[in-house]
Chain A
Amino acid sequence: MNTEYSQAVPATRRTSREQCLSRGAAVRGWQRLVLGVLCLFVLPGCGQQQSFPARPITLICPWSAGGGTDRVSRQMAMQLERRFGVPVNVINATGGSGVTGFTRGARSRPDGYTLMMMTVELSMLHWRELTEITHRDFAALSLLNRDAAALFVREDAEYVSLADLETAIREAPEPLKASGTAQGGIWHAAVAGWLDSRGLPADAVTWVSLNGSGPSLQELMAGGLDIVCCAVAEADALLASKRVRCLGVMAGQRLPTAADIPTFREQGADWEMAGWRGLGVPAGVPEDRLQILTDAVEAEATSEEFREFLSLAGFDHSFQPATEFGPTLEAQDRLFERVMTSDALGGVAADAAGGMVFPTVIGSLLLLAAAVAVSTRGAAVSNEAALTMSREGVLNAAAVVLSVAAFIASVDLVGFLVAATLVLLVLLLRFGTHPLKAGLIALTAAGAVQLLFAGVLRVPLPRGLWFEG
């Protein structure tokens, strides 16, 4: 498997690192291990420099480490790193269903050194008015994969086809409970859109807002849900062991990986919906750099290695070059305008507990606890005696706070190494270390941290505008 990967890449494009790796795959045992570990640690130094890219590239992944999007991001990063000969670091800028990551990506400098892993949420979030950012803030590089939504029920459920389920939904005395993701997420939109296309009201199914397909499947098995909507790959193990049943996949044609599952269309429901992932850069990257990136990403995304990765990981391979991906993004935007602003999704958003219920409960309890604490204050001895304030001490603490604040304000401009050295220098001098010794310690420590975090642990520390040109 390892050697196949390397064979698939054109020989002319081989960098020294890749040769390390293919050699690493060819030898056995200890040698292989040592080479593998060496390759991991010397990556930044391995490989030749080109005019672009000449320094590390950052790939922003809007979802957390370990998830599907993260895995696709890291595979892509690894392949691009080999091609370019510079480190490609994945940052997981998570939160807000992707808002944090997309915001970071759209606001980063369009110099080609920041790549964005775009996901279907990019087409959805701005219709929920959670962000101003749309796909127009990015230039498309390639569509990498697409995972069609599918409906799952427990194996012991009485419905065996989509029509049965629809009947059950129509006739249930109390609405059936469904999940697969949070309120307003992609799988929720998929179910709401399907219901809408069948002329069913928005509240025909109660959407329980669970955080992801894993917890939803677990809840399905625990009996707390009736229906789960997610990608087929996410339920593979349960499907194979006959604990859940798949009633249909919302794709144009049957999936090559699961050919026995009928599509919605085959069962008479005119509805398709899929999550997707693709690479982009912030809009405004110079034409020549964009071309280099587009060529590289298209070549890597169509490589045998990437295909094999996707199929092993259970993802569907749906490559589209930049020229097609752009129009696809536009079409997705139109589709979600329809779905996200329709009654189908808007109506379901009214929840049993509104967003302020929990904070209100916690806030009231906090007031209560604080009242008890204050009223019994006499019983406790205050800690203040232990902390006598002196002018010197206050100045010490102020130096710490101000130097960290100065670090935050200046690091993007002067880079990590300079900013960290200055923080250390100021504090060491303030705390009474000899200036010569302080200088030495500051430089060594800042350098060591830079080496450890940026070099070995691949944390992209700011390099500073001064040094980037």
Chain B
Amino acid sequence: MAEILTAAATTLADPLVWGVVVAAALYGVAIGSMPGLTATMGVALFVPVTFWLPPVPALAGIATMVACAIFAGDIPTTLLRIPGTPASAAYAAEAHELARQGQAGRALGMALVASITGGLFGAVVLMLLGSQLAGIASWFSVAEYFWLYTLGLSCAVLVAPGRVSLSLVSLLLGLLCSTVGLSAVHAEPRFTLGIPELLGGVGFIPAMVGLFGMSEVLRNALALRRRAGIAADAASGQADVGSVVNTAPPVVSVSLQQLFSRPVAWLRSAVIGVFVGVLPGAGADIASWVASAASPRGGQSDDTKMHRIADACTANSSSLAAAWIPALVFGIPGDSVTAMVIGVLAMKNLDPGPDVFQKQAALVYGLYLTFMLANLVLLPIGLIAIRAAGFVMQTPQRILLPLIVLLCVVGSFAINGSLFDVGLMLMFGLVGVACDRLSIPVGPMVLGIILGGPLEERFVQTLSGGRGSLLAFVERPVAAGLAAVVGIAWLVAIARLLRRGHTAKTPDEPGSGQEATTEANASN
């Protein structure tokens, strides 16, 4: 063990590794902070470069890129309310709300610190328990996945701000959107209106950019006054600049302190991230929704928002390293990124498999160390990125809004190179404005569109595997356990709803501390 670690450490001494890691970190931050460009796309563009690199720098580059992209996704989320990657959608509303109060620096500082510590936790777990954890994946058949996705979706409904029934409407609308197109499990096209582009379904990137970004632009445009706006912009701009620019090292220590003032919450989120990440087919986005649902609901105060951001960022980053476990041990890719990792391993003549820990020990441990390196490099580069993004806050709205429109257009175009997606983005922008007027949160709708396909597939697969019997959903013990968790979550929510209905009728009744705050805020 000791000599393996020494060998692994020497591979890290190579300046090439450091060079690749730094370059990949910059590249990852650029990709992640561009709405519409996902970490997957970044890795696909990076893969040809890995042909010229030895295995450890090649894999280090991919690991660093993804870690940095997932953090960088928080930057446009916070500043513009456009999630840079789907993993940031869970807390877009909270983070942007804080930014509008001039606390962008605090929010981003917290996101950065939580991402780094979460990522480090994931790396340590991968190192200590990698081969043991791989077994978890083989407990999960289609029925378990069905319940896992249902749990993720329920979490999205239960954590969304506002009334549960409206969040549920939002989620169901998203799920309905996801049924458009040629279903993967049926041989028939649905709701395509004869448009060939719709056979491919409603893409979640245009939907996400439209619902969050474009609708925000439209809302601001509706409120924009040509004359009065200029003065107000300047004033609010000034207020925000300070907080962003001030995100220097002292703030990092403050964020760290704040993060670890809740050690249990941090550990819970990190463990959720690892557990979700190790399952093929569930990644950073589900991890961040589940973790923010597990975060206690203590009203809508700034601190609560900060906690949500901390928990979700910890979980989505700690899931990243864990996602490599099934890929390394079984050669089964959990997502497109690890599929490409397997491709790169194959190009280097390294076969993933259960004996990878014995046969390729130096490589695997080198890889673990690069995961840590990746998260350490993220600290300075993330701080630089936060500072660089500060100009967004200095730009007056009348100039910023047109630029965001362009970003939304390019972002929705980039992933498939399709103008149809740009139109789809525009349509979802209008839907977003309508939702805002009706107080319907859009976060659950985005998750519905992302997870609707897999959820329906698992639903149909479980049914056809069980030859039509509904019992197939709860026959296996893990599935039954997950089903119980989902059931309890909903029972608690309904109980809370009924109590709220009661308190709403008698508003003067002094509720029990925290609960009362929740009610008061929820009905605002």
Contacts and interface: CB of A to CB of B under 8 A. Distances in A.
A34 to B, nearest CB: 8
A237 B419 contact: no
A48 interface: no
Contacts of B463: 352-353
B172 A369 contact: yes
Interface in B210-250: 217-219, 221-227, 229-230
B403 interface: yes
B523 A432 contact: no
Interface in A199-229: 206-211, 214-215, 217-219, 221-225
Given A99-B200, A209-B184, A397-B221, A356 B190 contact: yes
Contacts of B466: 352
21 contacts: A29-B15, A29-B16, A34-B19, A66-B337, A67-B339, A95-B181, A184-B187, A206-B465, A222-B137, A225-B465, A237-B331, A238-B332, A362-B176, A370-B169, A387-B436, A393-B224, A400-B218, A401-B426, A431-B398, A433-B399, A461-B410
B409 A183 contact: no
A104 B200 CA distance: 12
Nearest to B408: A404
Contact of B399 (A214, A238, A428, A446): A428
Nearest to A459: B414
Contacts of B459: 353, 358
Interface stretch (B39-47, B86-94, B100-108, B269-277): B39-47
B353 interface: yes
Given A66-B339, A222-B140, A433-B398, A94 B200 contact: yes
B186 A355 contact: yes
B187 A183 contact: yes
Interface string B168-198: 1100110110010111111111110000110
A325 B418 CA distance: 29
B402 interface: yes
Which residue, B162, B175, B331, B466, has most C-beta atoms of chain A within 10 A?
B331
A352 B457 contact: no
A103 B23 contact: no
A346 B71 CA distance: 48
Contacts of B501: 376, 379
Interface in B361-420: 397-399, 401-403, 405-407, 409-410, 413-419
A33 B23 contact: yes
Q: Determine the main DSSP class of B at the interface with A.
A: helix
Given A25-B52, A372-B165, A408-B422, A400 B221 contact: yes
Given A218-B280, A404-B426, A312 B349 contact: yes
B182 A96 contact: yes
A362 B185 contact: no
B301 interface: no
B165 A94 contact: no
Interface stretch (A268-276, A290-298, A419-427): A419-427
A441 B52 CA distance: 39
A209 B186 CA distance: 8
Contact of A379 (B15, B331, B398, B504): B504
Contacts of B433: 397
Contacts of B251: none
Nearest to A372: B165
Query: What band does the interface of chain A fall in when counting residues whose beta carbon is under 8 Å from B?
Result: 35 or more
B83 interface: no
A91 B162 CA distance: 40
A382 B162 CA distance: 11
Contact of A458 (B45, B281, B409): B45
A134 interface: no
A380 B439 contact: yes
B175 A362 contact: yes
Nearest to B343: A71
B398 A432 contact: yes
B185 A183 contact: yes
B186 A407 contact: no
Nearest to A398: B221
Interface of B: 14-16, 19-20, 23, 31, 34, 37, 40-41, 43-45, 47-49, 51-53, 57, 137-143, 162-163, 165-166, 168-169, 172-173, 175-176, 179, 181-191, 196-197, 199-201, 217-219, 221-227, 229-230, 280-281, 326, 330-333, 336-337, 339-340, 343, 346-347, 349, 351-355, 397-399, 401-403, 405-407, 409-410, 413-419, 422-423, 426, 429-430, 433, 436-439, 454, 456-457, 459-461, 463-468, 501, 504, 523-524
Contacts of A359: 176, 179, 190-191
A66 B436 contact: no
B336 A210 contact: no
Contacts of A65: 40-41, 43-44, 336, 340
4 tightest Cβ-Cβ pairs between the two chains A and B: A95-B200, A237-B331, A96-B199, A66-B336
Which residue, B346, B352, B459, has most C-beta atoms of chain A within 10 A?
B346
A298 to B, nearest CB: 22
Contact of B49 (A40, A100, A312, A382): A40
A445 interface: yes
A209 B222 contact: no
Given A238-B331, A353-B459, A400-B218, A445 B403 contact: yes
Contacts of A258: none
A358 B23 CA distance: 46
A241 B353 contact: yes
Contacts of A223: 141
Interface of A: 2, 5, 21, 24-25, 28-30, 32-34, 36-37, 40, 58, 64-67, 70-71, 74, 78, 90-97, 99-100, 103-104, 128, 130-131, 174, 177, 182-184, 206-211, 214-215, 217-219, 221-225, 236-238, 240-241, 243, 309, 312-314, 349, 351-359, 362-363, 365-366, 369-370, 372-373, 376, 379-384, 387, 389-390, 392-394, 396-397, 399-401, 403-405, 407-408, 411-412, 420, 423-424, 427-428, 431-433, 441-442, 445-446, 449, 453, 457-461
Contacts of A241: 353-355
A215 B409 contact: no
A211 B436 CA distance: 35
Nearest to B176: A362
B222 A376 contact: no
Contacts of A309: 347
Contacts of A99: 182, 196, 199-200
A407 B436 CA distance: 26
Contacts of A312: 346-347, 349
B406 A432 contact: no
A351 B430 contact: no
B52 A37 contact: no
B52 A396 contact: no
B464 A427 contact: no
A146 B403 CA distance: 47
